[in-house]
Structure 1
Amino acid sequence: MFTFEANKIAGAVLGSLLLAMGLGVIGQMIFSHSHLKTPGYALPVPVETAAHEGGEAPAAAAPLPERLAKSDPAKGQGLTKACQACHSFEKGGAAKAGPPLFGVVDRAKGSIAGFGYSDGMKAKGGEWTFDDLDHFIASPKTFVAGTKMSFAGEPDPQKRADIINYLHTLSDSPVPLPAK
């Protein structure tokens, strides 16, 4: 009699499993959906940094003096809209999350009194040259290790030149642009 009870229990368990599997298959047939032809949103395409098809490296950016000669300060002003969240551009402007940028060209690095510069910026030394600004805007974290600036950088060399030309105009006596 013990085997008869065990057989009934095993049959009930196996029958329940078979019923659950069958309901799963039938449910998938009833409620199946077609596969999407395109994703719901466009995924960003990574920028290639490797060599092109011909095995040649990507073309290097033109020298900064050439880019500055072609640059437009009005475009640069438009490109600084995102910067205005952390920096002021007016003469005598207060420090925000970042220091004010009026007169930044040829100003000593880390020199705004009362602003909490990172140790890397304090140690950098020197003055902000056109080349320094170009490298800093391209990649702040690469130019100044440990910088507090969260901006990832501007990869487009011409946009950087436009921004630098705009920053150059923010002065009582602008420094002349470098000659070709």
Structure 2
Amino acid sequence: MDDRKNTIAGWALFAGIIALGAALLTGEIFHDDDFDSCTAGDGYCPSYVADASVPTGDVEAEQPIAFYLAQGDATRGESQFAKCQACHAINQGGANGIGPGLYNTMGNPIAGHAGYSYSDALAGKGGNWDWDNMNEWLKKPSAFAPGTKMSFAGLPDPQDRADIMLYMNQMGSGIAIPPPPPPVSEDEAAAEDAAADGDAQTAEDTNVELNEDEVEGTGDAGGVDVPEAQ
């Protein structure tokens, strides 16, 4: 009986030693200092920390539609328009279907196609189908005109939208294409970086650290209601 107890105790002690050793090994491999170095940006950042800290799911900020129009392709847009043909005709003289005909749409009034019964949401929108309005409409119709009867979810890719608009513009419209936005010069980029660094420094300067004696209830006098050591 004693031998059995000794055996169980021995195995328990061995398991404890293994667990302790694993914890120490993990601490040696994955140092807290490694994470601090990556945060501080002092030039040392182990790959296992860097890989874990890479943000996922980041979406590049969308540029103005003129940026995508400058590199757009009406031929690609014609292929993209295949998604619209179930509801819309775009040829000259094409009849209204589930949706209105889209020939000569760009540049003309919103909800202005003759003979089609538009929703109140779109009919009351006002304005013309310029590049910005058409871009927002194709991006998400329900956001552009809440209450519209158009059930199409929209095109999330701005380049797809630009391509379709270029194709639509060829089909009876021919309005002027906006010039692409000017590229950001090196001086402008440096100025933006300097402004960002200045804002960060200002925020850092406002964080004033208090000395231990300046915080109520701390310092040599001890905490609140703490008796002096005898």
TM range (shorter): 0.5 to 0.7
1:62-77 matches, cutoff 5 A: 62-77=63-78
1:30-109 matches, cutoff 5 A: 53-54=54-55, 58-109=59-110
Alignment match, 1:179:
179
The alpha carbon displacement at 1:113 in A equals: 2.2
Q: What TM-score do you get using the length of structure 2 for normalisation?
A: 0.53
3-state DSSP class of the match of 2:76? helix
3-state DSSP class of the match of 2:84? helix
C-alpha separation in 2, matches of 1:87 and 1:103: 13
C-alpha separation in 2, matches of 1:70 and 1:84: 24
C-alpha separation in 2, matches of 1:73 and 1:113: 26
C-alpha separation in 2, matches of 1:113 and 1:56: 44
C-alpha separation in 2, matches of 1:109 and 1:97: 17
Flag the 1:53–1:140 CA change in 2: closer, same or farther, 3 A: farther
Flag the 1:116–1:53 CA change in 2: closer, same or farther, 3 A: farther
Alignment match, 1:113:
114
Structure 2: which 5+ residue stretches go unaligned? 1-52, 181-230
Which has the larger Rg? 2
Name the amino acid aligned to 2:94: G
The alpha carbon displacement at 1:63 in A equals: 1.7
The alpha carbon displacement at 1:118 in A equals: 0.3
The alpha carbon displacement at 1:150 in A equals: 1.0
The alpha carbon displacement at 1:53 in A equals: 4.4
3-state DSSP class of the match of 2:117? coil
Q: What TM-score do you get using the length of structure 1 for normalisation?
A: 0.67
Residue-by-residue CA offset, 1:56-76 (whole Å, 9 max, x unaligned): 952112221110010000000
Residue-by-residue CA offset, 1:14-52 (whole Å, 9 max, x unaligned): xxxxxxxxxxxxxxxxxxxxxxxxxxxxxxxxxxxxxx9
Flag the structure with more relative contact order, 1 or 2, with Cα contacts below 8 A and sequence separation at least 6: 1
C-alpha separation in 1, matches of 2:91 and 2:76: 18
Alignment match, 1:130:
131
Larger helix fraction of residues: 2
C-alpha separation in 2, matches of 1:154 and 1:179: 23
C-alpha separation in 2, matches of 1:106 and 1:134: 13
Name the amino acid aligned to 1:69: A
The alpha carbon displacement at 1:119 in A equals: 0.4
What is the aligned-residue identity percentage? 38
- Deviation >3 Å, runs of 4+: 52-57
The alpha carbon displacement at 1:148 in A equals: 0.9
Alignment match, 1:43:
none
Alignment match, 2:160:
159
Structure 1: which 5+ residue stretches go unaligned? 1-51
The alpha carbon displacement at 1:109 in A equals: 0.8
Flag the 1:107–1:55 CA change in 2: closer, same or farther, 3 A: same
